[in-house]
Structure formats: C-alpha cells, structure tokens
Amino acid sequence: MSIEKYFMALFLRRGSLPRNHTLRDLVEETRDFARIDPSLEETLLFMDSLQRICSLDHFEVVEPSVADVPRFLGAIDRVAAFVEAEIGAMGEGG
C-alpha cells in the first residue's frame, strides 16, 4: 500500500488520477510522463502478479517467498526516491 500511496502523491501533484490502482496500472500510466528504472518496473510488475484480486471470477493470490521480502522493501525505498525526484523536478510552481 505504501507504494501505491507514493504513486498517488505523484499523480495528485500532477493534477490527475490513474484509471486504477494496481501496480501494473500505476506503472503503465506513469510511463506516459516519466521513465521508471527497468529493474524497479520489473519488481513492481512481479509484485503485481502476486495478487489478482480485482475480479471475483479470477481471484488469485500467490504467496511470495521469504527471499522476496528484501526485494519488496527495496522497491519501497526506490519508489519513494523516484517520486520525490519527480515531484522535486516539477518545482514549487508545477
């Protein structure tokens, strides 16, 4: 959820809202105005693939391994830095 909140801060600062709030959707819509590091994008899409909970017909949750936890925690830090840099690049008036 923290990753989603960082992305939402970026979208709100830009004056727009994403269509949906899955990590895949947030990544895809962010690509319209910014470049996300490919390895971060890969991690976010992997995280998104673990939960498919938007449809009751195709509900699926895959439990990540313990080895995935450091990768996920690192993604939070990387998203935070990415969003802070993007918002900082917009300046006070943007």
Model pLDDT, residue 21: 86
Confidence of residue 62 (pLDDT cuts 50, 70, 90): confident
Q: pTM score, two decimals?
A: 0.84
Model pLDDT, residue 92: 58
Confidence of residue 54 (pLDDT cuts 50, 70, 90): low
Give me the mean pLDDT over the 11-16 stretch: 95
Domain contains 72: yes
Domain contains 52: yes
Domain contains 62: yes
Domain contains 94: no
- CA–CA separation, 31 vs 65, rounded Å? 28
Kindly tell me the number of DSSP H helices and DSSP E strands found in the chain: 4, 2
The amino acid at 48: D
Contact between 75 and 3 under an 8 Å Cβ cutoff? The reply is yes
The number of distinct structural domains making up the chain is 1
Residue range of the domain that includes 62: 2-89
pLDDT over 60 (residue 94): no
Model pLDDT, residue 91: 77
The amino acid at 46: F
